[in-house]
Amino acid sequence: MKDEQIVALFWEKDEAAIRNSDTKYGKSLHRISFNILANREDSEECVNDTYVKAWNAIPPERPLRLFAWLGRITRNLSLNRFYENHAKKRGGQALVLLSELSDCIPAGQTVEEEVEGKLLTEAIVRWLESRSEEERALFLGRYWFGESLASLALLAGTDPNRLAGRMFRLRQSLKDALEKEGITI
């Protein structure tokens, strides 16, 4: 079923929207969540909460790219759950991923920083568009889907140490591009 049809089902408050979303994107949403949480039960809850949020948000929202929209919800819910679960203890895959990006992406908390966050998002999209398809896939695989370096290295046909160096160079390239656009780190 096409995304537009699924969104139309959400719009009509037809429960088939959730079934079709889960059929089409459920595995990917679970992967996003599990890569952050490393816990099947929490991941399942986050994906279910994603569908509830989608149900409540459509209408009035009408997402153009359903998977990206659902993925963002899942990712945010999973990160929130991760922080709740690790409020007193530190460690885990999500903190590793966030710490890798902390040198090139500032954290935003005030209204001004949220506006800057939108500009940052646009700058990152421009930077990603300037990269090769393979580099985009590696970057998004690591920092959006939370894939391990080992699994990405296997897909890229290289070893994890070489890939770690390549990921460092990609982050450095992103940092340089952001600085050229006047986004301070």
Q: What is the pLDDT of residues 34-47, one digit of tens each?
A: 988 889 999 999 99
Taking 70 as the threshold, does the pLDDT of residue 84 lie above it? yes
Please state, in angstroms and rounded to a whole number, the distance separating the CA atoms of residues 19 and 155: 30
Residue 15: closest CA among 75, 23, 73: 23
pLDDT at position 82: 85
Residue with tokens 């889960």: 22
Please state, in angstroms and rounded to a whole number, the distance separating the CA atoms of residues 111 and 115: 6
Please state, in angstroms and rounded to a whole number, the distance separating the CA atoms of residues 148 and 8: 36
Of all residues in the chain, what percent carry a pLDDT higher than 70? 82
pLDDT band at 87 (very low <50, low <70, confident <90, very high): low
pLDDT at position 103: 59
pLDDT at position 110: 58
Angle (CA) 72 76 81, round 5°: 150
pLDDT tens sequence across 93-126:
555 565 566 556 555 555 565 666 677 778 888 9
Taking 60 as the threshold, does the pLDDT of residue 162 lie above it? yes
CB 47 within 8 A of CB 74: yes
| Predicted TM-score of the model (pTM) | 0.63
- Range from 48-52, 72-76, 174-178 that averages highest in pLDDT: 48-52
Please state, in angstroms and rounded to a whole number, the distance separating the CA atoms of residues 59 and 39: 31
Please state, in angstroms and rounded to a whole number, the distance separating the CA atoms of residues 15 and 23: 13
